[in-house]
């Protein structure tokens, strides 16, 4: 089974490629949206929520990350039992409705309800439907397929920050959010018609043991531990790089492009490691790229003070951290039965969602404790990323029976 060799399918792999296109759209609208949260951290801090501390404002994107991934096991069970169609429809409704309501928000609790809770309930469904269908179509080139799909999150991370930065001064915050919501609605219509699973659903009863079963596998527990540590730090540079650059003297106009630069390079960071993973091993590539992300934060993020330093930091961190999104689902698929991938992906991201919940507020509290300086924030992020890289390496060694060489 390899749709990159069209002769394997009667339709020449057409349906598989369409599914890949739909998954690409799903990642633009889900992880791509998460990758632009830094724009709103800085905007709210200087506008609607300027009376609140950075740590308090950071709870909005953090709650968004938690709510996006926490229902993952239930959504994964629904996918395994019923397929992706209804999940996509429900997810599109919640995500678009949440953004529309965000356009009307003026108070802190309103932003929490609309952007922090309603919208990410849809994000979970969209992300799950996109990532869980790919392994049913791709085998030999699964890493490349995941990389191409996950590149959508990088593209979304380019489009949405630029849209927000350019449109808010011209048409205001409300209509900017509505414009983004309409764009997402259009992309999700495409996804609804193209995302499909090659395998029919295999209904299972909704029982607690369905969600606990993966934890009997030591490989799964190690992978979750590594992902949790890495997830604790991955969004911190994304969420605070604009504020750090402005604090160091960068203009508002130029700082508005940092996330676009970061996410532009993350496209290559998703595709290239994904393609290399098919040749050198998914766990090998994850260990290398996650370690590189931690080193970049400590080596470049901590001392950054000039415009050139921040642009370089954004570009390199985008490339190194981008691999996580494309490689983690491939790693989960590697240690899972195909019919259980939906639940297993959901369980992993449900656990790591708690890391996403506390990471940004901890970073905001560190800024407050350091009287507005950002070096401590980057030290915390870099150390947690390196801790995650270490655990990814331990996971790889366990799966390889402690062999140093080999494609794993």
Buried b (16+ CB within 10 A) or exposed e, 255-284: bbbbbbbbbbbbbbbbbbbbbbbbebbbbb
Report field, pTM of the whole predicted structure over 0.85: no
Dihedral over Cα of 280, 269, 230, 336: its sign: negative
Nearest to 296 by CA among 277, 274, 318, 328: 318
pLDDT tens-digit profile of 274-286?
Answer: 788 878 888 999 9
Distance CA 278, CA 376 (A): 37
pLDDT tens-digit profile of 368-384?
Answer: 888 888 899 999 999 99
Q: If you average pLDDT over residues 330-337, what whole number do you get?
A: 82
What's the chain's average pLDDT?
85
Tell the residue number behind the tokens 């983004």, with chain if given. Answer: 180
pLDDT bucket at 86, cuts 50 / 70 / 90: confident
What is the pLDDT, as a whole number, of residue 1?
A: 43
Q: Which phi-psi region, left, alpha or beta, contains residue 373 (left: φ > 0; alpha: ψ -120 to 50)?
A: beta
CB atoms within 10 A of CB 21: 18
Answer whether 90's CB lies under 8 Å from 364's CB: no
pLDDT tens-digit profile of 229-239?
Answer: 999 999 899 88
Q: What is the dihedral of CA 96, 98, 101, 102, to 10 degrees?
A: -110
What is the pLDDT, as a whole number, of residue 357?
A: 84
pLDDT tens-digit profile of 17-70?
Answer: 888 888 889 989 988 888 777 778 778 888 888 888 877 888 888 888 888 888
∠ CA 383-73-133, nearest 5°, is: 95
Say which residue, 322 or 187, is predicted with more confidence. Answer: 187
CB atoms within 10 A of CB 190: 15
pLDDT tens-digit profile of 57-66?
Answer: 888 888 888 8
Answer whether 339's CB lies under 8 Å from 80's CB: yes
Residue ranges and CATH numbers for the domains of the chain are 6-399 (1.20.1250.20)
Could you give phi then psi for residue 230, rounded to 5 degrees?
A: -65, -40
């Amino acid at each position: 089974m390899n749709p990159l060799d069209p002769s394997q399918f009667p339709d020449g792999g057409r349906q598989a490629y369409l599914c890949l296109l739909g998954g690409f759209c799903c990642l633009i609208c889900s992880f791509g949206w998460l990758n632009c949260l830094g724009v709103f951290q800085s905007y709210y801090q200087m506008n609607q929520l300027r009376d609140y501390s950075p740590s308090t404002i950071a709870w909005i994107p953090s709650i968004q990350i938690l709510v996006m991934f926490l229902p993952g096991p239930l959504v994964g069970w629904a996918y395994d039992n019923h397929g992706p169609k209804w999940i996509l429809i429900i997810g599109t409704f919640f995500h678009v409705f949440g953004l529309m309501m965000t356009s009307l928000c003026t108070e802190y609790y309103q932003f929490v309800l609309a952007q922090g809770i309603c919208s990410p309930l849809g994000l979970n469904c969209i992300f799950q439907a996109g990532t869980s269908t790919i392994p049913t179509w791709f085998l030999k080139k699964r890493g490349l397929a995941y990389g191409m799909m996950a590149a959508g999150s990088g593209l979304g991370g380019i489009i949405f920050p630029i849209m927000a930065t350019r449109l808010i001064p011209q048409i205001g915050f409300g209509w900017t959010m509505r414009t983004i919501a309409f764009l997402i609605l259009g992309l999700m219509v495409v996804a609804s018609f193209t995302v499909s699973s090659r395998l029919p659903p295999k209904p299972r009863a909704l029982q607690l043991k369905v969600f606990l079963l993966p934890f009997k596998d030591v490989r799964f527990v190690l992978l979750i531990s590594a992902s949790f540590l890495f997830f604790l730090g991955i969004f911190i540079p994304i969420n605070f790089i604009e504020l750090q650059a402005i604090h160091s003297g960068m203009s508002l106009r130029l700082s508005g492009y940092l996330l676009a630069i970061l996410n532009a390079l993350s496209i290559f960071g998703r595709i290239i490691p994904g393609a290399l993973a098919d040749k050198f091993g998914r766990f090998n590539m994850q260990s290398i790229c996650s370690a590189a992300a931690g080193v970049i934060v400590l080596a470049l993020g901590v001392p950054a003070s000039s415009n050139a330093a921040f642009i370089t930091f954004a570009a390199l961190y985008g490339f190194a951290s981008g691999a996580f999104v494309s490689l983690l689902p491939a790693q989960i698929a590697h240690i899972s039965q195909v019919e259980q991938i939906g639940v297993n992906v959901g369980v992993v991201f449900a656990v790591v969602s708690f890391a996403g919940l506390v990471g940004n507020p901890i970073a905001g509290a560190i800024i407050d404790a350091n009287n507005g300086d950002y070096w401590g924030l980057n030290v915390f992020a870099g150390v947690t990323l390196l801790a995650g890289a270490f655990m990814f390496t331990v996971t790889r060694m366990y799966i390889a029976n402690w062999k140093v060489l080999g494609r794993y």
